[in-house]
Structures are given as C-alpha cells and as structure tokens.
Amino acid sequence: MREGAWFEGLQNPYRDDKVMAACGLFGVLDTSGRATGASDVVRAMANMHDRSNGLGGGFAVYGLYPDRADLYALHVMYMREEARPEAEAIIRGHFSIAQAEPVPTRPGARVSDPPDFWRYFVTPQNLDHQESSDDYVIQQVMRINTGVSGAFVFSSGKDMAVLKGVGYPEDIADYFRLDDYQGYMWVGHGRFPTNTPGWWGGAHPFNILDWTVVHNGEISSYGINVRHLEMFGYHCTMQTDTEVIAYAVDLLMRRHGLPVEVVADVLAPPFWSHLEREDEETQALHRALRQVYASLLMNGPFTIIIAHQGEMIGLTDRIRLRPLTAATKGERLFLSSEEASIRLVSPELDSVWTPIGGEPVVGRLGLSPREAPPELLALRPERIVQSTESVARTS
Amino acid sequence: MTMKTYLPPRFAIQRRDDRCIRCQVCVRQCSFGAQAYDAEDDVVIGYDDKCVACHRCVIFCPTQALTITNTPLDYRENFNWRPEAIEDITRQAETGGMLLTGMGDDKSQPIYWDRLLLNASQVTNPSIDPLREPMELRTYLGRKPDRVEVQPRTGQGGGVKLKTRIAPQVAIEAPMLFSAMSYGAVSLNVHESLARAAHEAGVLFNTGEGGLHPKLYRYGDNTIVQVASGRFGVHPEYLKAARVIEIKIGQGAKPGIGGHLPGEKVSVDVAATRMIPAGTDALSPAPQHDIYSIEDLSQLIYALKEATHYEKPVCVKIAAVHNSAAIASGMVRAGADIIALDGLRGSTGAAPKVIRDNVGIPIELAIAAVDTRLRQEGIRNQASLIAAGGFRGSADVIKAIALGADAVYIGTAALIALGCTVCQQCHTGRCAWGICTTDLALTKRINPEIGTRRLVNLLRGWSLEIQDMLGGMGINALESLRGNRDHLRGVGLTDSELAVLGVRLAGT
Amino acid sequence: MVSTPVVIDATGLHYSELNRSLRETVLGGQSRIEVRNVYGQRYIGTNLAGDVHLDIFGTPGNDLGAFMDGPSIAVHGNAQDGCGNTMNEGQIVVHGRAGDIAGLSARGGKVFIRDSVGYRVGIHMKEYESKRPCLVVGGTAQDFLGEYMAGGVLVVLGLNLQEGEPHRARFIGTGMHGGVIYLRGHVEAHQLGREVGVAELDTDDRATLEGLVSEFCRHFGQDEKAILGGRFTKLFPLYLRPYGRLYTY
C-alpha cells in the first residue's frame, strides 16, 4: 500500500496494486520536424479498437505550443472542486504563471464522468541555486500528486501535452479536440484495464517532464521497480504499472545521462548466455548495468513507446511477448501494435519489420530514417525476398 | 543395578526378532552404545536410554528389523509442565550446568514461511516456461553504486564502455550458499563435500570459524572464510585463498554468546588448523574483542580490505535480533559489502538450549525489517543481504528473495542431504552419520564423492523448483522478484505482522 | 473451371461483419472471393470450411485462418500474428511477411510465407499419421522457431540473407520432441535448443523438401534449382521425453 494513494475521488474501489495494461499503441515521428494534425494517430488507434475496452485512451503530442515553447505546460486534472485552489496555491508558490486556463474540451463526446482539466504555462521561481529546474518541477509535481487529495498533474513538459482519460481513444480525441492541434510527433494508446471504470489518471500515456510512455503488457517486476525508484524521490501515485517506466527513463536518461541503447539494456538486458559470446568490454558494461540497476529490469511482457522532445523510442521485452511493428516512409517513422494501422495511414511503406526483443528502435528529429544507421532502427536483415513475377498490390 | 539418573529413556528401540539375522551391523553402526550383541544368548540387545533416534541402525539394518519410537513412558497430561520441561530440571539438578544441545530451535514459534503464499500469472501476463525459455537465477553479491557512467569506446564499432569502477562482485549461479559450519564442528569430509559441491554448482561455501584446511585451498574461489571472535586459522594465506571474507559477530542459534568446541572434538588435525593445542576446548569469546562499537567494526572491515588489497567483498554476519534494522544500517555505513542475517532457527554444533530456543527473532521478520529500513535510508544497493536460519526448501528460499534477500545460507538442509536426521546430538561429537564429529572412525562414514553428488543434487532440485515458481509468476530473471513483495500474500497473520512483512492479506 | 470471383470491399467493416459476409457468400455458393481494402480485420477464414479460395488485398489482422478447416487463402500484402493458428486443413500463401506465432499448434494444412517471420513460429506444431502440417518461410525467422514442436515440417530458406550471413534466430527448437526443421543457410550450435540434433538430409528428407520448395517457387516465382542447391541442415528432436530426469517421485 503506497503513501498518498487512498484519497477520495480515486476510482480504484478494489484497491488493486496496479492496473494491468493490456492494449494497443501507436506512434509516429516526422524526423524533418514537419507538424501534422491528429488524424493519422486517431485513425490508427480507431483501427485497433478491439485491443481496448473503452476504459482508457490517450495521446501525447509534441510541438503543439510553439509560441510558449520554453514554458513548462502543467496539465492538471481535478477530481473534486476543492482540489483546484489547493493545487493552484502550490503552483503559485513555486512558479510564475504566464497563463492559466481550462483545457478546451468538446461537450457531447462519448466519455464518462470527466474531471476538470486545467493547464498552466509556468516558469519555476524560488529555486535554490544548485537545483535544476527539471528536478524542481518534478518535486512540485510529486508534491501535488501526493499531497493534494483529488488533484493530479498528468503532464509537465515544455511544448508538449498528454491528453487522456476514460473512453476509447477516438472518443478521447474528440473530447480534447485533438484536431485543433499540430505536432511533429504523436503517440496514441487504447487501454484494456481489468478494474472498473472511472480513473482518468490511469489511462496512458504516463508522463514526467517531457517523457511520455505508453505500454502494452504487465510489469511483473513492478513491486521492486517502485521500491527502487522511491529511493530516488519518485512516488508512484497513478495506480498503474506503466508509471515506473516513465520515472525509470527520467532517472537513467536525464539524471544519470545514459544513452538510449544503454537504457534499453537496463530495462531489457541481454541474457547471460548470449553475453558470454561478446568481447570483454561489452561484457563488463552489461555486468555492471545488471549489478547496479538490477531492480530496474522490467520483467513481464511489454511493448513500450517512450517519447521526449526530439526522440521516439520503441522497445519490447527480451523474449518478445508483446507485438511491435516498425515502419518507415520518407521522413516518417511509425511504431504500432499492428501493421494494419500503419498501412491505413500510409499504404506505401519504404520498410516494415519486427524489431528483436530487447533492441530499441530509435527515431530522432533531424535524422532521416533513410540516413539512420540500421542499429538505431533495430533493422536487421528483413529485406524483401524478390520474386521474379510482380505481385499486384492495391491500397 | 545402580540408578544413575532420574531420567527415563526418550526413545525405544523396537526390533522384530523374526527379521533380525544377528548380523550386528547395528552394533557396529551405533556410535552411542545403544546396541550390543550377547553372544551367549545369540541376541542383539538395545539400550533404550542411550538411543538418540539418529536412525543409523534403522537405515543400515539389511532386513529392516528395526524401528525407533518415542518414549513409551506416559506422564500425566500437563500443558504447562511438559515432559521436556520436567526432564530439563532433572538434568540440571544432576549436573548444575547449562543444558547443551545441537541444531536449531525446535520450539513452536510461528514459522512465517508457512503463512506466506506466492503469486502466479494468468491472463493478463503469461507465465514463462522455464524448460524452454531462459530463466536466469544468477545473482551478484557485493557493494553496488547508485549509477553507472559510460564513456565512448575507442576503436571500430563506436558505442560506449564502462567508466564507473565497481567494487568487487561475486557471481553465484543460484541464490543458495552453504552456511558457516566450522571444521571441528563438522568433519573434514563434510567440508570437502561442501567445497566441491559449491564449486560444481557455481555457488559458495562458508568455512565457519574453524579455519580452512590446506587441502581445500584449491576451492578458494568458492569459499567464504570467516573471521570470528576466536580468530581461528586467520592468516594471510587463508585470507588470500578466499573469495569473500566474513566477519562473524553473531549467529542465530546463539546470539550474544561465544562458541565452545569441546576438547573431545579438537583432534590433531583440528588443532593444527585452529592453531591451538589438541584436546583443549576451542573457545570463541562472546564479542570480538576488538569490536566494542560500530566504529570498531568499521576499523576491522577496512583492516581486512587493506590486507586483501580491496579485491574481496567483506561480509558481516549478525544474529537477527530486535534492532537488526538499525544495526544493519550501521554495518552498511561502516563499510560492509554484504550483510548476513541469521534467524532464530539457525543451527549450531553446540549451544545452550535456553539460548538457542529463546534468543533472537524469526528470519522472515528480520529480512523484511532490514530490507525496508535500508531502502528508506536510500542505501539498499550498498550491500547485499544474505538470510539464514532454517530454510527447509525452495519455497522458503524464494519467499526470502521476495521479501528482499539477495541469497540464503543453508546449513541444516545441507547436512540432511548428507544423511543428518536432526537428532540434536552434535555437541557430543559422536554423530553416527560421521557429520558432526572429528572421530576418524566416524568421519569416514561420509564419502566426499557421494557427499558432493548429494549436495549438488539438492541445489539442482531446488533451482529447478525456483525456476518453475519464477516462471509461474511471469518472471524470467531473479532480480525482478528480489524485494518484490507484491508477489507474496499472507494467510493467518495479524495486521501488524503483515505490516512488518510489507505483505498484503491473501484476497486483497 | 475458374469462376469469376466475387469482390467484397472490407472498408470500414468490423471483423465480425466481414467474416459474416464472407460466410454468407460462401454458403450462397461462391467459392472464389476477393477481399479488398483489408486493414487489420481478424480471424479471416476461421469460420469457413470446404473448397473455398480467398484473395486478400491489404493487411489481414491477427489469427488469419485460425482453426481453419479446408479453405485456401492468398494474401497480397503482409500478414500479422497468429497466421494459421491451430489450423486443421487448408492453405495460406502470404506474398509478404508474417508476424509472430504463425502455425501455432497447427494440425494440418500448409502455410507459405514469402518473406520473413517473427517469434515462436511453428510453436507446438502437431502431427498424426497422414496429418502433417507444413510451414515454409522464404526469408528468416526470429527466436524460438519451432519451440516444443511435436510434429510437422518447418522450412526456413533464408533467401534474403547475404552471402555468408548467418541466421540470427536463437533458442531454435527448444523443447522439440517431434517433427523436423529444414534450415537453409548457416546456424551455430549455440543457437539451437538443448533438445535439438543436427544431421544431413536423407533421401526421404530431400523428397519432402523438394516437394515443398517446388510449391513455394510456384507461388512466388522463385528459382527451384537455385534454392535446392543451397546448403540445408536438418534439425530433429534428440529425445522423445526430453524432460525425463526432471522429477523425483
């Protein structure tokens, strides 16, 4: 039982440790930075309708606030009215607020019992000189999430937003007026949770700063992942195992400065029996990672898409128990639970493949998939077998 | 006949005369003098008062003519004044000494392992098939930093390599080590079996406080050498041979007191290894006389690290007592790389019975308390945690891991694998199985070839079971279960017990 | 006698609607159907039986032909996971790649995939007397190929590998206790499960292989001689009871 978890308004009446994340996910990054609308990601998610059960859907969009790009955009959901003044007092006490407004929503959308959604564009104030703004923001987010009953900051990065809740992804997109926004990177998720309705905070993506994570699977190591992260000041309040991935990535990539391939080797390390065949330097590195970060190994089936400004990363567990298809077309990189959704939004593809378990697919702003080294895309020999006859294809 | 004692025999030797072929194997096998052959009457006689129920004669009788039963003498029923309580007083009245015994606490304090149950994955998470898909049990013991730093790799291929220097780590292929049992308390053949089995299975064995016989130095890579209060056999070669050095502060069977190896067990060979005269009692003082406070412990830890050039992890072993969590925190900060916690049920070759059965706390609660406390202080990764004290099977082991232990020590279980039947006569030095004795006529009853095989089999059987249970939980690497209490549930426990264990009630 | 196929447009159809429509079409007497604009609809072919042929244009969803009993399906595009799952009879030809667990627990019939496949392909395939499922992959497979196979034939041709490039699959045939795998190209011992033996192909093997490669080439326009000229290895189960020493009674 975790601190700060049992508050009124929380819709987890069965007090499940965590809600399983069985679902569908999709991500698209335009590496040239070209901004596009929501229709591709929404159509892709709608096409995977049967992977969800209507109890959770959500999106992350990057690049949607270009004229406020250097302000932290805190998105907060309020489950009870009194929570807003309490939370805003904390925000006012630690930030200077350039703008505060309700998140635009569309009445009549097919979602159930939404809480109130507000967003605040802020700059940190009153930091100690040695504190980083990012750590400061995390502290205040944790303070609100554990301290203010019925308030949750669910997105806290710059020039990006998570918009999510209880409903099918396409309905959530409708509710949050996703078609009003433009972004160079979109991630979508539809959920199939196994507890009952109502907890808007339990939908994916999960977020801290500009990190977002969507997840298909269940983390069987969750109990120890949480306890390890707590030692570093992260508090899990969202009742969903996916939350630990967001914090683990923040710890490993932002605070410990590890490159993404190394982070993938922490979350999904290669087997000892395979490492024996590598050179000594490689073995020494992997041994050290597993010794030091043993409690951050993510066990259990998973496919995750991790995104932050400039990068989209797809990763599966080391025995590939959950599906992931990757594809490229021109400057765009796609990641999806099912290939059909990619084909729906881009019938012609330059390449399409299944990444190997534990090997990350990384898309970077400014690096076209055509120029990216194959290791970055985990693109192993999956070349088409050429036939001597032509094969008719229709879109 | 003179009555030497007011004590009735505990056991009765039952012999089926129609099966007894007078081969006298039982007479030769019994080391307690409970069997004798009367040539005149051509009959084998049993002396019930000498029988300790070690079953050696029962197993070796070629016609299965023998069995041992509990004393046929009935007392008036009394819940409070049970036979053992009555007889203990009788014994003390006869001798005026402390009652001595062997093995571990046999009383009825709660066994929490039997109240903890494990999870299995279904539907939302597939269980993993350990027979066909990889299942990793490897564990690294040692002090670990909070983070890893990398630097670019030189040469072709690019990528990164390790920059952080990590303190020495010891890999064990399964989370079970052989607990400290000293040469003198057990025989050299037992030590050899433990060493060879540890070597074959890729784990470690602990020399206990009696030093390491030179013929076992070749298994040094699989050896934990103990530096205990008697400092027996502690010399540079000993330290050099070891893989891990363990400072023994206490043990679960007798927290707070020293050790006493009776002179009968200090053979010529034992004397040579311990560097004391043959036939004297080998006395281990209660405290280590250079450790009277935590800073002294730190001093000894670093003395040993300096002596071994910082190449070996240093472990500190304590008995699980009331403030184990605070002590453990201190030990970690004092420089211990590994902490060994020995619980109430830990075994010994000899200890006062009253201390064995009344001092210390169950290991389950101790692991939970220490693990939680170290995490609260943010220092859990600075030392590995080994738990000891009465682990009976793979389920106990895996539950200990789930509570937070890195590995467990097994002592009694290892001896049972070699033939021990827990008759609690270790302190007499007359173990009929040849285990807890240095009498050369008895020690040859343990054949190290066979002993090694049996110990390796034990570890293999338990490892297979652990892999099956892990796979059932949807986990394929042991580190994902370590400290992961979500996979445990309690039954028949109070709210406070559940709170200390950090485990929920089954059904919630 | 090839009748003109009926064309069904799957645009916007849920899989239950599409499959119902297919079944009604078949029950109405049609035996050749073209399905166009397929984007992820599942279980296509599952509820059909008998002598029916489907041409699918697009990307069929998971469990294509699952439990299928008789029909033949051609996919003009890529297939997803579960292609031929527990298939009983029939044929699936994919002019592209397929995902994970193709042929899982298949009991009969044939599956031909032109390009590569994902994880656990051919897992627990079965066989009994004349019922012998066959699965042929033109490209490469990923880990756990043929995991605990109990019967059937798995062929992996590696046609998209460069000269000298080895297969990368690991844990091949782990738990295998029946059936056979014919692998074209190079694979190392450490990539194989403990229960797998390696051998040269004998005359019966070659006959089976030639038959399947011949069919493969007919579907995908490949050069049969060139393929058969490559180096083939036979992977077979070493034990009938691979886990005999596991339990103590």
CATH number at residue A186: 3.60.20.10
The answer on pLDDT for A19 being more than 90 is no
Question: Which chains, if any, share at least 3 CB pairs under 8 A with chain B?
Answer: A, C
CB atoms within 10 A of CB C4: 8
**Residue tagged active-site, from A20, A23, A83, A178:** A23
**In whole angstroms, what separates CA A327 from the centre of its chain?**
19
Q: How many CA atoms lie within 13 A of B281 on its CB side?
A: 10
How close C174 gets to chain B, by Cα (Å)?
Answer: 5
- Can you give the pLDDT at residue B264? 79
Residues above pLDDT 90, as percent of chain B: 78
C164 — pLDDT class (breaks 50, 70, 90) = confident
Could you please report the per-residue DSSP string of B374-395? HHHTT-GGGSEEEEES---SHH
Question: CA of A338, closest CA in chain B: separation in Å?
Answer: 19
- Contact present, C158 and C168 (Cβ < 8 Å): no
Q: Is A363 part of a structural domain of the chain?
A: yes
Is the confidence at residue A12, as pLDDT, over 80? Answer: no
Structure tokens belonging to residue B204: 């470690």
| Pairwise pLDDT comparison (B407 vs B272), residue with the higher score | B407
pLDDT for A119-135, tens place per residue? 999 999 988 887 899 99
Over residues B23-40, the pLDDT tens digits come to 999 999 999 999 999 999
Interchain contact C239–B (C-beta under 8 A): no
From A389, which residue of chain C is nearest by alpha-carbon distance? C221
Query: Among residues A98, A124, A158, which one ends one of the domains?
Result: A158
**Which of C36, C59, C168 is nearest residue A339 as measured by Cβ atoms?**
C59
Looking at the fold, whether A304 and A272 belong to one and the same domain comes out as yes
Could you tell me if A166 and A209 lie in one domain?
yes
Q: What is the CATH number of the domain that holds A119?
A: 3.30.70.260
Q: Are residues A57 and A71 in the same domain?
A: no
Q: Check whether residue A150 and residue A286 sit in a common domain.
A: no
Last residue of a domain, one of A106, A140, A158: A158
Q: Is residue A13 part of a domain?
A: no
Span B336-365, pLDDT tens digits: 999 999 999 999 999 999 999 999 999 999
Within-domain flag for A351: yes
Q: Assess whether A291 and A357 both reside in one domain.
A: yes
Asked, for residue A14, whether it belongs to a domain, the answer is: no
Question: Residue B375 pLDDT > 50, yes or no?
Answer: yes
Q: What is the mean pLDDT of residues C236-247?
A: 78
Distance (Å) from the alpha carbon of C97 to chain A's nearest alpha carbon: 8
| Residue A296 Cα distances to A314, A342, B251, B481, C222, angstroms | 17, 31, 33, 11, 48
- Residue A277: is its pLDDT beyond 60? yes
Residue A231 sits in the same domain as residue A82: no
Residue A252: strand, helix, or coil? helix
For residue A224, give the nearest of B125, B166, B483 by CB distance: B483
Are residues A223 and A140 both part of a single domain? no
Which of C145, C172, C174 is the mutation pick for testing B, counting most B CBs within 10 A? Answer: C174
How large is the angle between the packed helices A133-147 and A83-94, nearest 10 degrees? Answer: 160
A230, B479: Cβ pair inside 8 Å? no
- Verify that A96 and A226 share a domain, yes or no: no
Residues in Cβ contact with C243 at an 8 Å cutoff, skipping those fewer than 6 apart: B131
In A293-354, which ranges are continuous DSSP H helix? 339-345
Which of A231, A291, A319 lies nearest to residue B476, judging by beta carbons? A319
Q: How many domains does chain A have?
A: 2
Q: Of B131, B134, B461, which is closest to C243 when you measure between CB atoms?
A: B131
Q: Is residue A1 part of a domain?
A: no
What is the structure's pLDDT at A16?
59
CA dist A325 and A344 (Å) reads: 14
Question: Is A20 or B454 the better-scoring residue by pLDDT?
Answer: B454
CB atoms A294 and B481 under 8 Å: no
Tell me the per-residue pLDDT of B209-264, one tens digit each, with 9 for 90 and over: 989 999 999 999 999 999 988 888 888 888 999 999 999 998 999 888 887 787 87
Q: Which residues of C touch B131 (CB under 8 A)?
A: 175, 242-243, 246
Per-residue model confidence (pLDDT) at position B388: 97
Q: Does residue A146 sit in the same domain as residue A181? A: no
In this predicted structure, which of A45-59, B311-325, C149-163 has the lowest mean pLDDT? A45-59
pLDDT mean across residues, chain A: 88
Same domain, yes or no: A253 and A123: no
**Domain check: are A177 and A320 in the same one?**
yes
Which pLDDT band holds residue A282 (cuts at 50, 70, 90)?
A: very high
Task: Provide the token pair at B409.
Answer: 């020590």
Domain for residue A43, yes or no?
Answer: yes
Look at residue B127 in the predicted model and tell me its pLDDT: 84
Q: What residues in C contact B129, CB-CB < 8 Å?
A: 175
Which residue range forms the structural domain that includes residue A69? 65-158
Q: Chain C contact for A380, CB < 8 A?
A: yes
Mean pLDDT for C164-176 is: 93
Who among A273, A277, A354 is closest to C142 (CB)? A354
pTM of the model: 0.87
C175/B131 touch (CB, cutoff 8 Å), yes or no: yes
* Residue A9 is assigned to a structural domain of this protein: no
In a domain, A191, yes or no: yes
Domain boundary residue, one of A158, A187, A205: A158
- Beta-bridge mates of residue A351: A328
Interface residues from chain B to C (CB-CB < 8 Å) = 129, 131-134, 461, 464
Q: Give me the sheet containing C89-94, strands edge to edge.
A: C6-9, C32-39, C53-59, C69-76, C89-94, C110-113, C134-137, C150-156, C178-184, C232-237, C196-199
Residue among A325, A380, A387 minimizing CB distance to C221: A387
Min CA distance, C242 vs chain B (Å)? Answer: 10
Residue A381 has a pLDDT of 52
Q: Is A236 a catalytic residue?
A: no
3-state secondary structure of C240: coil
Q: Which of residues 172-211 of C touch A (CB under 8 A)?
A: 190
Task: List, as ranges, residues 119-158 from C with C-beta within 8 Å of B.
Answer: 144, 147-148
**B473 contacts A292? CB cut-off 8 A:** no
Confidence of residue A385 (pLDDT cuts 50, 70, 90): low
CB contact under 8 A, A277 and C161: no
Lowest mean pLDDT among A20-29, B141-150, C13-22: A20-29
Indicate yes or no: CB of A385 within 8 angstroms of CB of C220: yes
Q: How far is CA C242 from the centre of its chain?
A: 25
Span B92-133, pLDDT tens digits = 998 888 999 999 999 999 999 999 999 998 877 788 888 888
pLDDT at residue B469, as a whole number: 96
Which segments within A8-138 are labelled E, that is strand?
23-30, 57-62, 72-78, 95-102, 116-124
Share of chain B above pLDDT 70, in %: 99
Nearest-Cα distance to chain B for A387, in Å, is 34
Same domain, A173 and A259: yes
Structure-token match 């001595």, residue found: B100
Res A240: pLDDT: 80
Q: Residue C193 and residue B132: Cβ atoms within 8 Å? A: yes
Write down the pLDDT at residue B333.
Answer: 92
| CA of residue B98 relative to chain centroid, distance | 24
Peptide bond before A205: cis, by omega within 30 degrees of 0? yes
Helices (H), B344-501: 353-358, 363-376, 394-403, 412-418, 440-443, 448-472, 495-501
